[in-house]
């Protein structure tokens, strides 16, 4: 199960001997403190997020190992040209307050570095100035477990965000298997950590469904325009198109039904072109000149 979360960026860190040792473990050449810029990233935490899901502390600890050495890029565009920084160490930070699950609050903190080059100068300035302050991480977990019944959240009868006998339902994201990358992005979503998460497979399905929905709406709008012309409303084709373009499926369905009734009253159940009757074929054809 592939997931993606967004989080925040802390300002620059002092590069002491300890930090420099971790950075040089990632580098092919020995770097000096003056050559690098280091900063901390709050990757994800163990609170229930807006999607009704959370990482237990055990999963955060698994992710901590997996994210060491992972590259930072932009907007999840997997290209070597977009590589900007690299995580050289991580830690799970624990605090005293309890989460909805009864665990002490904890979050995964990553320490990243980039080179102080001319090309990175603007990026460093944006981090320091608070412009680049959200990152998104992509990783995989084996299961999403229901907090109510302990079964797979996708097959159990419970719904995330609902309460059952007073107990809130959420999905526990367990058994981290891989960490792909982390990206500078624009919009955070998770409470406190500013974390945004989505399941890539679910997103791909939603995108396919959205595309099908857009095609259906276009066909429906075209049908309503056609029936509007047959109903003899006296409106120009361009005017009808402008009207239906602003409508969504419920209104379009109602208009289609109304226009069908009006067209039936105007033309009955006869064939499109009548035989006989001087001038009648020509008059009838005019109704289809929308």
> In which band, very low, low, confident or very high, does the pLDDT at 159 lie, cut at 50, 70 and 90?
very high
Instruction: Tell me how far apart the alpha carbons of residues 120 and 225 are, in angstroms, rounded to a whole number.
Output: 54
pLDDT given at position 264? 82
Given a cut of 90, is residue 188 above it in pLDDT?
A: no
pLDDT given at position 128? 79
> In which band, very low, low, confident or very high, does the pLDDT at 282 lie, cut at 50, 70 and 90?
very low
Out of 24-33, 67-76, 105-114, 149-158, least confident range: 67-76
Give the residues across from 134 on adjacent strands. Answer: 8
Q: Kindly state the percentage of the chain with pLDDT values over 70.
A: 74
Comparing 59 with 198, which gets the higher pLDDT? 59
Q: Tokens for 139? A: 């990783």
pLDDT given at position 286? 47
pLDDT in tens, 201-255: 444 555 566 777 788 888 888 888 888 888 887 888 888 888 888 888 888 888 8
Q: Region 157-162: what's the mean pLDDT? A: 95
Instruction: Tell me how far apart the alpha carbons of residues 184 and 188 are, in angstroms, rounded to a whole number.
Output: 11
Which pTM was predicted?
0.58
Instruction: Tell me how far apart the alpha carbons of residues 249 and 215 are, in angstroms, rounded to a whole number.
Output: 12
pLDDT in tens, 31-85: 999 999 998 888 888 999 888 999 999 999 999 999 998 877 554 444 445 467 8
Out of 109-113, 114-118, 161-165, 278-282, least confident range: 278-282
Q: Tokens for 250? A: 């419920």
**CA pseudo-torsion sign 196, 201, 207, 213:** negative
Contact of 152 with 144, CB cutoff 8 Å: yes
Given a cut of 70, is residue 141 above it in pLDDT?
A: yes
Contact of 43 with 110, CB cutoff 8 Å: yes
Instruction: Tell me how far apart the alpha carbons of residues 138 and 182 are, in angstroms, rounded to a whole number.
Output: 6
Which region holds residue 177: left if phi is over 0, alpha if psi is between -120 and 50, else beta? alpha
What average pLDDT does the chain have? 78
Instruction: Enumerate residues 6+ apart whose C-beta is below 8 A from 163.
Output: 169
pLDDT given at position 3? 59
Out of 34-43, 97-106, 183-192, 203-212, least confident range: 183-192
């Amino acid at each position: 199960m592939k997931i993606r979360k967004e989080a925040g960026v802390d300002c620059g860190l002092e590069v002491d001997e300890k930090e420099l040792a971790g950075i040089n473990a990632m580098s092919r050449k020995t770097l000096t403190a003056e050559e690098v810029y280091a900063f901390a990233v709050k990757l994800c935490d163990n609170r229930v997020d807006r999607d009704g899901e959370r990482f237990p502390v055990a999963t955060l600890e698994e992710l901590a190992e997996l994210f060491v050495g992972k590259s930072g890029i932009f907007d999840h565009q997997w290209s070597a040209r977009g590589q900007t920084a690299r995580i050289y160490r991580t830690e799970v930070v624990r605090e005293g307050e309890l989460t909805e699950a009864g665990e002490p609050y904890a979050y995964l903190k990553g320490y990243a570095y980039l080179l102080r080059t001319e090309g990175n100068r603007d990026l460093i300035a944006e981090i320091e100035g608070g412009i680049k302050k959200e990152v998104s991480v992509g990783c995989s977990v084996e299961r999403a477990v229901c907090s109510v019944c302990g079964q797979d959240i996708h097959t159990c009868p419970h719904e995330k965000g609902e309460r059952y006998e007073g107990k809130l339902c959420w999905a526990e994201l367990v058994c981290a298997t891989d960490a792909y990358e982390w990206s500078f992005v624009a919009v955070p979503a998770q409470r406190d950590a500013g974390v945004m998460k989505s399941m890539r497979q679910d997103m791909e399905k939603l995108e396919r469904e959205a595309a099908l929905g857009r095609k259906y709406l276009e066909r429906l709008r075209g049908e309503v325009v056609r029936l509007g012309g047959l109903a003899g409303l006296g409106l120009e084709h361009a005017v009808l198109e402008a009207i239906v373009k602003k409508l969504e499926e419920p209104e379009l369905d109602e208009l289609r039904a109304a226009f069908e009734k009006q067209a039936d009253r105007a033309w009955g159940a006869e064939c499109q072109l009548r035989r006989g009757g001087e001038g009648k074929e020509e008059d009838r054809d005019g109704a289809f000149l929308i």
